[in-house]
């Protein structure tokens, strides 16, 4: 099972680069750091029906760090929500697959892009499930730099207050944001302590270790009265060595030679 | 829903903000999807009764408007009909990005009840005056913008908004008196203005608390032989284009009146339409492009000419 999920993560990374090449540029760093987490979510955890994307009892996934949309498109294609040709429409004219998620695309639960929005929206989904007596779960993926937006902490406070145990936040903690390392820009540590102080169950994992990811997801909900945050320690640009742990690869151009280097490292077709 | 005006009026206590709460309470009784979100505004909007009778239908989200608006969007995506209740200055400006992205861009049917709009909170000062909210809301694609002229209209428009496919902004008053102008037994329609007074020389197109002033201005003008039509444009977006164009064609002069700054409000909406389709001389009764002074609402209104006298003066100026 773990090998299969790792294979999906690799396929997602290849799809990310394929989309980035089609668009000519894009946010590779934060897309690649999320690939393993997305593989585990879409191919193990989330109860979804790609052939029935509007199934009312589906689990909800919100990509709050919307600039990693290449990764979301990559996994939606792998999961069968969208045809593979979607990847070639990244940044295209009138495309449903632009830089940021578009709710009109099958499998996308919310249009995101402005940072600090997803956790509130996910909380609304979780509260809606409770009001309707339904059992679906909501997962929101948040970036680390994104946690500098104060609205996240409004949502964190409210989720704990309302005891929404069916809500899970995953922090893709790749340590790098657009202009530098997070701790040099506006530090967010002690991060686990912050979430705990806001009333959340906190788990910390290596966000590239599939066994740790699966173990953390399988344990959800960690509490019947508190929401859970999984702080996933990741590497920006993971999987393509030249792009790892550098703000220069937060978002940049993808000429053919970069694409070829990436695919060579990922063992994909150039 | 059957409406008994007298019973309802007693519940509103002549306040449109309480009429909004009464409408949400009545909607919630009939529709399990309806939920109210309070940003520490339970009593401001009149949700106490609903909260006591059906606690799960009033979600207290605290003094955190950004989060409140995001939650509302999330609730809507799973099939709920959220009604956000807040102070007009904060529920618009503070949560503007959530309103734009999560609600308008994502086209979610969230109804926003914005209490204490305009300079209802006159003594509170510029931080609490909501006099650019119509401009912000009008500029938002997918948004319906309603400005009830009295509590009954606020109640009826809130009921009507519940069927809307998309977000709705309902502009509400504060604690200052809101005299009734809604003819008994009538029901306002979104996108359809009401002609409250026929007239042939000038038309005053007003919204909110300025409708009462417009009616008084029309009476004053009539006494001196000037025939003034009065239109209650409760639906600022979609604007009732036909009512505006007909008035322009038949009276040839238009005055707009609103408790809002001039840029982007009702006057702008009317002027944008007329400039394209039927230009006529216009005057605007609105707040100037500056922060208003602190003071009791009636005195601040008078200071900036949001009065029957100023509207009548604008009408006379147009025919002079």
Give, rounded to a whole angstrom, the gap between the first and last alpha carbons of chain A. 28
* Per-residue pLDDT reduced to its tens digit, A158-203: 999 999 999 999 999 999 999 999 999 999 999 999 999 999 999 9
Same CATH topology for B5-171 and B194-319: the answer is yes
Residues of chain B with C-beta less than 8 angstroms from the C-beta of A103: 77, 106-107
Considering only the beta carbons, identify the residue of A60, A121, A131 that sits closest to B35.
A131
With CB atoms and an 8 Å threshold, state whether B75 touches A125.
yes
Residues of chain B found within 8 Å of residue A142, distances taken between Cβ atoms: none
CATH entry, B194-319, from 1.10.10.10, 3.40.50.920, 3.30.479.10, 1.10.287.130: 3.40.50.920
Q: Which residues on chain A are in Cβ contact (under 8 Å) with B35?
A: 131
| pLDDT tens figures, B113-125 | 999 999 999 999 9
Closest-CA distance, A2 to chain B, in angstroms, reads: 32
Best residue of A55, A124, A127 to probe chain B, by most B CBs closer than 10 Å: A124
ipTM over 0.90: yes
Residue of A nearest to B54 (CA): A131
- Kindly report, residue by residue over B238-263, the tens digit of the pLDDT: 999 999 999 999 999 999 999 999 99
Query: Which pLDDT score, from 0 to 100, does residue B1 have?
Result: 46
Contact list, B64 vs chain A (CB under 8 Å): 154, 157-158
At residue B9, the pLDDT reads 77
* CATH number of the domain enclosing A112: 3.40.50.970
pLDDT digits (tens, 9 = 90+) for B59-79: 999 999 999 999 999 999 999
Residues of A in contact with B70 (CB under 8 A): 117, 119-121, 123-124, 151, 155
Q: Are B244 and B256 in contact (CB under 8 A)?
A: no
- The rounded mean pLDDT for chain B is 96
pLDDT computed for residue B203 by the predictor: 98
Give the SS3 label for residue B4. coil
User: What's the pLDDT score for residue B4?
Assistant: 58
Of B59, B67, B82, the CB nearest to A120: B67
φ, ψ of residue A212 to 5 degrees: the values are -65, -40
Q: What number is the average pLDDT over the span A199-227?
A: 98
B318: enclosing H helix or E strand: helix B308-319
| pLDDT tens track for B255-293 | 999 999 999 999 999 999 999 999 999 999 999 999 999
Contacting residues of B for A123, CB less than 8 Å apart = 67, 70-71, 74
* A16-55 tens-digit pLDDT: 999 999 999 999 999 999 999 999 999 999 999 999 999 9
Strand partners, A69: none
Q: How many CB pairs under 8 A join A and B?
A: 102
What pLDDT shows up at residue B10? Answer: 82
Confirm or reject contact between B79 and chain A (CB < 8 A): yes
Which of B78, B102, B106 shows the shortest C-beta gap to A129?
B78
B23-37 tens-digit pLDDT: 999 999 999 999 999
E-state strands within chain B: 34-38, 58-60, 81-87, 111-115, 144-146, 168-171, 194-197, 202-206, 228-232, 235-237, 254-261, 282-287
Q: How many domains does chain A have?
A: 1
Q: What is the pLDDT of residue B5?
A: 66
Q: B5-171, what's its fold?
A: Rossmann fold (3.40.50)
**What does the DSSP 8-state code read for residue B293?**
P
**pLDDT computed for residue B2 by the predictor:** 46
**Sheet of B202-206: strands edge to edge?**
B194-197, B228-232, B202-206, B254-261, B282-287
**Which pLDDT score is estimated for A35?**
98
Of the residues B71, B79, B84, the best mutation for testing chain A's interface (the one with the most A CB atoms within 10 Å of its CB) is B71
CA proximity to B68, closest of B46, B35, B26, B106:
B35
Domain boundaries, chain B: 5-171, 194-319
The pLDDT confidence band at residue B12, using thresholds 50, 70 and 90, is confident
Average pLDDT over residues B9-38: 94
Q: What percent of chain A has pLDDT over 90?
A: 99
């Amino acid at each position: 099972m773990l090998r299969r999920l790792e294979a999906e993560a690799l396929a997602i990374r290849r799809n990310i680069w394929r989309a980035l090449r089609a668009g000519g540029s894009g946010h590779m760093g934060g897309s690649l750091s999320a690939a393993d987490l997305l593989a585990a979510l879409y191919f193990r955890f989330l109860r979804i029906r790609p052939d029935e994307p509007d199934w009312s009892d589906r689990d909800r996934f919100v990509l709050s760090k919307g600039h990693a949309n290449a990764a979301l498109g990559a996994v939606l294609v792998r999961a069968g929500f969208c045809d593979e040709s979607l990847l070639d429409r990244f940044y295209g004219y009138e495309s449903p697959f632009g830089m940021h998620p578009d709710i009109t695309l099958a499998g996308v639960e919310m249009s995101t892009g402005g940072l600090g929005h997803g956790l509130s929206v996910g909380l609304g989904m979780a509260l809606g499930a409770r009001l309707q007596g339904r059992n679906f779960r909501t997962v929101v993926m948040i970036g680390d730099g994104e946690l500098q937006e104060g609205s996240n902490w409004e949502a964190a406070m409210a989720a704990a207050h309302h005891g929404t145990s069916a809500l899970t936040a995953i922090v893709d903690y790749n340590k790098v944001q657009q202009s530098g390392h997070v701790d040099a820009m506006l530090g967010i540590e002690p991060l686990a302590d912050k979430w705990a102080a806001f009333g959340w169950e906190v788990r910390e994992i290596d966000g590239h270790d599939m066994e740790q990811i699966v173990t953390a997801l399988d344990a959800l909900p960690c509490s019947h009265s508190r929401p859970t945050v999984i702080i996933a320690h990741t590497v920006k640009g993971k999987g393509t060595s030249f792009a790892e742990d550098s703000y220069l690869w937060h978002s940049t151009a993808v000429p053919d030679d970069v694409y070829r280097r990436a695919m060579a490292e990922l063992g994909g077709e150039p | 829903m059957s409406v008994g005006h007298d019973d309802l009026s007693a519940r509103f206590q002549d306040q449109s903000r309480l009429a909004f709460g009464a409408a949400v309470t009545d909607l919630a009784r009939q529709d399990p999807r309806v939920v109210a979100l309070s940003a520490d505004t339970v009593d401001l909007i009149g949700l106490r009764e609903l909260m006591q009778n059906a606690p799960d239908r009033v979600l207290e989200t605290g003094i955190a408007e950004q989060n409140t608006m995001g939650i509302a969007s999330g609730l809507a995506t799973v099939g709920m009909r959220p009604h956000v209740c807040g102070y007009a200055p904060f529920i618009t400006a503070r949560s503007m990005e959530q309103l734009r992205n999560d609600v308008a861009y994502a086209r979610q049917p969230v109804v926003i009840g914005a209490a204490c709009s305009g300079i209802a909170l006159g003594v509170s000062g510029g931080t609490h005056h909501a006099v650019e909210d119509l401009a912000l809301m009008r500029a938002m694609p997918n948004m319906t913008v309603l400005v009830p002229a009295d509590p009954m209209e606020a109640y009826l428009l809130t009921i009507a908004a519940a069927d809307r496919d998309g977000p709705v902004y309902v502009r509400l008053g504060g604690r200052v008196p809101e005299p009734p102008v809604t003819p008994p037994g009538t029901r306002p329609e979104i996108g359809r203005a009401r002609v409250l007074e026929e007239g042939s020389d000038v038309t005053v197109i007003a919204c909110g608390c300025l409708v009462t002033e417009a009616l008084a201005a029309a009476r004053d003008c009539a006494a001196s032989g000037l025939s003034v039509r009065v239109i209650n444009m409760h639906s600022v977006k979609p604007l009732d284009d036909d009512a505006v164009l007909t008035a322009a064609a038949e009276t040839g002069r238009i005055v707009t009146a609103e408790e809002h700054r001039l840029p982007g409000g009702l006057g702008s909406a009317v002027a944008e339409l007329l400039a394209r389709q039927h230009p006529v001389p216009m005057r605007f009764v609105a707040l100037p492009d500056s922060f208003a002074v602190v003071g009791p609402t009636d005195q601040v209104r008078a200071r900036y000419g949001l009065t029957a006298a100023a509207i009548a003066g604008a009408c006379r100026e147009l025919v002079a």
